[in-house]
Structure 1
């Protein structure tokens, strides 16, 4: 049961933040299509700016809304998961130690824990190198990928293949994060980050039921055969297609919501002119940028 939850929990984590990033990214992009200031509607034109974190405008208290809530939540979640792994992996015999499997899981979490602290430092305008948020994202996904890559020795065929498919999503997440390092205001790099984070999340949950079936029904028990590997690969492909469809639907819902109150310039959708310069997004000032 513990290993099953150990896959479900990170799955929910990635799914939640994938949707969070995608909704905010789409809202900023769609708001960037607003016409110049209209004297009747008093609408302003917003320039699209990418970000690794977003403010929580749904919170009614302004003081709390200006806190780096997203980064704080990530620190709390990773700290709780870290503590659970430490508790479950501790053994007192033959001498006090932590089982290697749990130590590996803790290392996978540490990159996201560290990057969240850096986000808080940036939020409070500590003078750090430019685009360090994006660089820390690359580090977090890289650490996660390395630990999974060398996490497979002595496992069954199906378990190895399930983890290999997960590594594909992690590598693609890393590549999209690298793209953000060079072009942090690129809408598509942020979409890719959200998409592969979502795929990580849904695949974590899929893997939980594949590796730790919660039933004795033989129809849901996977064996180490070529057919199982092929079926698992097909399942991953459907995860990719399904997640694309979900993100498109989310984009359309955000578009419908914003278009009800804003006059959009649809001609700008095909405009590929690069944005001038880069401004590090600080959550406390994000109200000036749109959402």
Structure 2
């Protein structure tokens, strides 16, 4: 249905399932962890079957609504009289619902018949999401620019969900993948509502200008705000689930909670009850050398820190052959997350409250246009790095976040940064666009590395590659500042000279060679320092832990020693 209701209906379906999964999966993960059980509880299997039945009902409602609304096709696909297809858009939506109905049927069959291969339900769900993405990809051809863009953003959430669900076929009951799927499903739901509001204005008022590029810039930012809100919802629901588990453990010893079900080992007769046009100006902070240099310094600092920290951590792990990270490493990660959050918060405040900044004003009612959207783009970028820093800190708290969630949030933050640069309005500035497209290559490479680290934890090659991309981002942002707004004054480089494009492509490769050289030099220095410490102190394990050392002996646990003179040690 090409109206607001046609987008609100599927949006509500996705939103309900996303919110449901954001509660169900943390409860299952934490309750099984608390009760030391590895197999899935029978209660959760029943929940999966009921969930499949609800999915079938929702899909049937969607198909009937698409076919039998007053202006629907009423099951006619081709008109013999007009020799033309009948309401193909409704048929596309019907096809989408059909595959979700098949996914629900497989969920039910998986519960009823144990001969069904494990993982088939996830495979069918992945196929349904992939079909949805393909339908929407060919859904917006020959549409206005704004219509195409707002649906292309939806495709990001759809194909992300399809890929993560496909991974669940082989990594069953992986809490990180399950939470990620819940998050992208929530985003799909809220973004369907956003599409309906933008394109059809259900509450009246003027329609959005579909040829104004500022609207595209705003909607790109808005999409990432939806993503940030989904992350916050996941965090809140996970925290609530953790608090419920802890409260039940204190009150009744060893509980097993299953969505409205509490079972105690000492109570064999317990009953389980299932509860059922813009005025934006290029401001000094945004386009100046200082603005690029500050953002570049943010990435350079972390790249240089990691180029020292990861080689040392790898070498100490090789010597000690320990799988568990030491207390010093954990403290270093908490410190790193705190610094990341602090830098990101400082970046948000600078972008918003410089004299020429928007001062938290997004829309100007006087001029009826957006205000300083470039500042808001950078604010959105810093917002996701702030969330990443918070997750780094909370990962080492008693909350027991899933292993790998910190890397997943870092990957999401980098991915958002790359997309923001891709959809930025460069106008006719070909050199500006080329500079930032090279930057996007480094960003997406770092995002891919961080995503792989979710599953390959403490892999030194991935950590080194991510470090090199951060060094490259930092130095290249400085280079962008030199090219576009030279600090010594005067005009920037000629935007129309193709030779400049050729040189800067070469220069980008030189920057990466420099990043690899820095990484190699710091790794070699770390090895020399590590060997020197072993020769001098023997059982002293030097960690990057804010000036602390750990003494390890065979018969005693590690004890923290403040770094002081050699005699004290």
SS of match in other structure, 1:33: helix
- 1:269–1:167 distance in 2 versus 1, CA, 3 Å: same
Q: 1:235 pairs with 217, 222, 226, which one?
A: 222
| Structure 1 position 85 matched with structure 2 position 66 | yes
Whether the aligned pair in 2 keeps the contact of 1:27 and 1:254 (CA below 8 Å) is yes
Distance 1:82 1:261, change over 3 A: same
- Provide the residue aligned with 2:202 in structure 1: 214
Change over 3 Å in CA distance of 1:270–1:15 after alignment to 2: closer
Taking the aligned partners of 2:14 and 2:2, their CA distance within structure 1 comes to 19
Aligned to 1:120: 108
1:173–1:196 CA contact under 8 A, matched in 2: yes
- Pairing partner for 2:246 from 247, 250, 259: 259
Number of aligned residue pairs: give it: 251
Secondary structure in 1 aligned to 2:36?
Answer: coil
- Contact 2:123/2:169 (8 A) holds in 1: yes
Mapped partners of 2:26, 2:109: distance in 1: 26
**After superposition, what is the alpha-carbon deviation per residue over 1:95-144, rounded to whole angstroms, capped at 9, x for unaligned?**
69631111111111121111111111111115223311111111111110
What residue number does 2:210 align with? 223
Could you tell me whether the CA contact under 8 Å between 2:147 and 2:210 is conserved in 1? no
User: Gapped runs of 5+ residues in structure 2?
Assistant: 255-396, 404-569
Partner SS for 2:248:
coil
Runs of 5+ in structure 1 lacking a partner?
A: 35-43, 57-66, 273-291
Match of 1:90, SS? coil
Take 1:48 and 1:255, find their aligned partners in 2: how far apart are those partners?
Answer: 20
* Alignment TM-score, normalising by the size of structure 2: 0.41
| From 33, 36, 42, the counterpart of 1:45 | 36
The TM-score with structure 1 as length reference comes to 0.78
CA contact (8 A) 2:242 2:399 kept: no
Change (3 A) 1:270 1:191: closer
- Find the counterpart in structure 1 of residue 157 from structure 2: 169
Matched residue of 1:22: which SS? Answer: helix
Of residues 246, 249, 272, the one that matches 2:233 is 246
Question: Contact conserved, 1:50 with 1:185, CA < 8 A, in 2?
Answer: no
Q: State the superposition RMSD in angstroms.
A: 2.8
Please say if residues 50 and 190 of structure 1, whose CA atoms lie closer than 8 Å, have aligned partners that are also in contact.
no
Provide the rounded CA distance (Å) in 1 between the counterparts of 2:191 and 2:155: 10
Question: Could you tell me how far apart the structure 2 residues matched to 1:174 and 1:132 are?
Answer: 14
Pick from 187, 191, 199 the counterpart of residue 187 of structure 2: 199
Question: Do the aligned partners of residues 211 and 259 (structure 1) sit closer, same or farther apart at CA in structure 2, a change above 3 Å counting?
Answer: same
Q: Select which of 119, 125, 129 maps to 1:131.
A: 119
What's 1:31 paired with? 31
8 Å Cα contact 1:29/1:48 also seen in 2: no
Counterpart-to-counterpart distance in 1, 2:163 and 2:116: 23
For the pair 1:156 / 2:129, whether they are aligned, the reply is no
- Correspondence for 1:8: 8
1:278 paired residue number = none
- Which has the bigger relative contact order, CA under 8 A and spacing at least 6? 1
Please give the alpha-carbon distance, in whole angstroms, between the structure 1 residues aligned to 2:223 and 2:230. 11
Distance 1:50 1:192 in 2: 22
CA contact (8 A) 1:7 1:205 kept: yes
| CA deviation map 1:43-96 (0-9, x unaligned) | x43337599x7645xxxxxxxxxx932111111111111011111322786369
Q: Which moved more, 1:89-98 or 1:112-121?
A: 89-98
1:149 touches 1:164 (CA, 8 Å); kept in 2?
Answer: yes
What are the superposed Cα offsets for residues 231-255 of structure 1, whole Å, 9 maximum, x if unpaired? 1101001011111011101111111
CA shift in 2, pair 1:268/1:97, >3 Å:
closer
Q: 1:99 aligns with which of 87, 90, 93?
A: 87
**Alpha carbons of 1:55 and 1:121: their partners in 2 closer, same or farther (altered >3 Å)?**
closer
Bigger Rg, which one? 2
* SS of match in other structure, 2:13: helix
